[in-house]
Amino acid sequence: MSQITNPTSADPLSPLHGQVALITGSSSGIGAATARQLASVGATVVINSVHSVSAGEALAGELPGADYVQADVADEEQAHRLIETVIQRHGRLDVLVNNAGATVVIPHGDLEAATPEIWRRIFDVNVIGTWQVTVAAVPHLVASGRGQVVNVSSIAGERPTGSSIPYACSKAAVSHMTRLLANTLGPDIRVNAVAPGLVDTPWTAEWDTVRAYVQAQAPLRRIATSEDVAEMIYGLIRASYVTGEVVLVDGGLNLR
């Protein structure tokens, strides 16, 4: 993993100098690591969450020029207000990272436990939320002249695995949405996704059995950090001739 440097957002030599990046679900975990990564290369970042408001505000306070907006991406009105607030405060939007997500841990064989209510709750955040924020952002990303979207999917959307069947299906939808939007929105907007395997976040803190399996089976013999995923998100932002790709970030676990 490369070392994160710390140029200020005012540094004209920073790769994302002058750009504004919104990262949804960014008060902790992958979202927070992505906010730090993009801020370190000059972007003005907007932190978002629906809960953990104090953590989101604290993170924004650490990063030059950053601010925080509380909004539930699953709610259509709040999703649109989130984008409107970014434009009101910063006048532009160049990068959207759709990281907000939800899951429920249910063994795949326990079909009765995966109730329609759980399906709706997970899809409302992971799929509908991603869609609503993206649609609201599109005019501003086009106006940027270099706008792009990076979605956070999961290896569960590419392989028959994951914390539950509803979650895996929601991430499969995010992966395919990424390809469809890339095909539709080019050349004005690039759309890509990362698909992490197991990541060391508050979500997975007690998943000891899964951790042991990944550490034993993945060619790189460790689970991912949030910074590993943030590094790939930044890589896709920099990769100007890449669109419609869903990149696995799993230490090679899919090979096994």
Please give the Cα distance from 119 to 145 (Å, whole number). Answer: 37
Residue 234: active-site member = no
Strands 67-70 and 95-98, sheet pairing = unpaired
Please give the Cα distance from 127 to 74 (Å, whole number). Answer: 9
The closest alpha carbon to 32, from 152, 175, 162, belongs to 152
Task: Return all residues near 45 (Cβ < 8 A) that are at least 6 apart.
Answer: 20, 21, 22, 23, 26, 35, 38, 39, 60, 63, 65, 66
Joined tokens for residue 254: 């899919």
Write the burial class of residue 183 (CB in 10 Å: 0-12 exposed, 13-18 middle, 19+ buried): exposed
DSSP state of 70: E
Helix, strand, coil percent values for the chain (each to nearest 5): 50, 15, 40
CB atoms within 10 A of CB 114: 19
The type of residue at 177 is M
Please give the Cα distance from 25 to 74 (Å, whole number). Answer: 11
Pick the catalytic residue from 167, 213, 234, 241: 167
Largest CA distance in the chain: 56
Joined tokens for residue 170: 């929601």
SS3 assignment, position 187 = coil
The residues annotated with a catalytic role in the active site are 167
